[in-house]
Amino acid sequence: MEKEALAKTADENGFIPSNAESGFINQTFQALNDRHNVIYEFVMRYNDYIYAEHDYGNGHPLTMIESHTLTYIEDHPGTTVTELTGYWHKTKGAVSQIVSRLEDLGLVTKTKKEGNGKNVYLYVTETGYQLSCSHKLYDILDITKTLSKIQKECTPAEIDTFYKVISVYYKVICRDFEENKIPKRQGKRRQKNQE
């Protein structure tokens, strides 16, 4: 019954195609979706990987975004949360939460410069530096291992093409976000507060 009501509403608004058009639409959708589905699955699986905690050998399990934020701070001493929001394309609140967790773990310090109490500058602690170095080594080994597995089925040229396509695809998505004013994803707590 609900399906019929939806179809009637769609037909009244001119959204229901003819049988011939419907067949073409379904065939085209299936062809595109079957090919594109691997991207959806990859993105969802990689998202799980990004937010899973990894121990880089120092007894401080971090998510990928936390470890890469730590490494960014190590590579850019004195960076700010604002700079990190531009780098990660995340909200200031989301980046602040990550930085606060790193600070709570004793990996990062926040410093205000004399005469400028407004801006907070970020630096790694000695433990943060050691963890960042461990993370870099972990990534070198992990990326090398992953590429080695990929090279069993893909040529170096195919791998280079993949990285080029991903880079262009990323630019297309970024432009789409800007042109369509798609908001940054907000945390669950903030979504609940807005409801």
Same domain, 145 and 173: no
Same domain, 111 and 158: no
pLDDT category at 124 given cuts 50, 70, 90 is very high
Same domain, 137 and 169: no
Same domain, 60 and 148: yes
Q: Are 103 and 22 in contact (CB under 8 A)?
A: no
Same domain, 109 and 186: no
pLDDT tens profile 27-45:
888 888 888 899 999 999 9
pLDDT category at 141 given cuts 50, 70, 90 is very high
pLDDT value at position 12? 59
pLDDT category at 1 given cuts 50, 70, 90 is very low
pLDDT value at position 115? 73
Same domain, 147 and 180: no
> Is the pLDDT score of 186 beyond 50?
yes
In a domain, 34, yes or no: no
Among 10-14, 35-39, 153-157, 159-163, name the one with the lowest average pLDDT.
10-14
Shortest CA distance to 98 belongs to which of 135, 133, 68, 130? 68
Shortest CA distance to 106 belongs to which of 53, 70, 55? 70
Q: Report which DSSP code applies to 182.
A: P
The pTM score is 0.75
Same domain, 130 and 169: no
Q: Are 143 and 153 in contact (CB under 8 A)?
A: no
- Gap between the terminal Cα atoms of the chain: 30
pLDDT category at 169 given cuts 50, 70, 90 is very high
In a domain, 35, yes or no: no
Please give the residue range of the domain that contains residue 158.
154-195
Residues 6+ apart with CB under 8 A from 32: none
For the chain, the domain total comes to 2
pLDDT tens profile 46-78:
999 888 999 988 888 999 999 999 999 999 999
